[in-house]
Amino acid sequence: MTECAGGHCVTCADEAVAVRVVRLVDGGLADVDAGDGRVERVSVALVDAAVGDTVLVHAKEAIGVMT
Closest CA to 9 of 61, 48, 66: 61
Domains of the chain: 5-66 (2.30.30.140)
Residue 6: pLDDT band (50, 70, 90) is low
DSSP assignment letter at 59: T
Q: State the greatest distance between any 2 C-alpha atoms of the chain, in Å, as a whole number.
A: 32
pTM of structure: 0.79
Mean pLDDT across 42-60:
96
Tens digit of pLDDT for each residue in 8-49? Answer: 566 565 788 999 999 999 999 999 998 888 999 999 999 999
Mean pLDDT across 56-67:
92
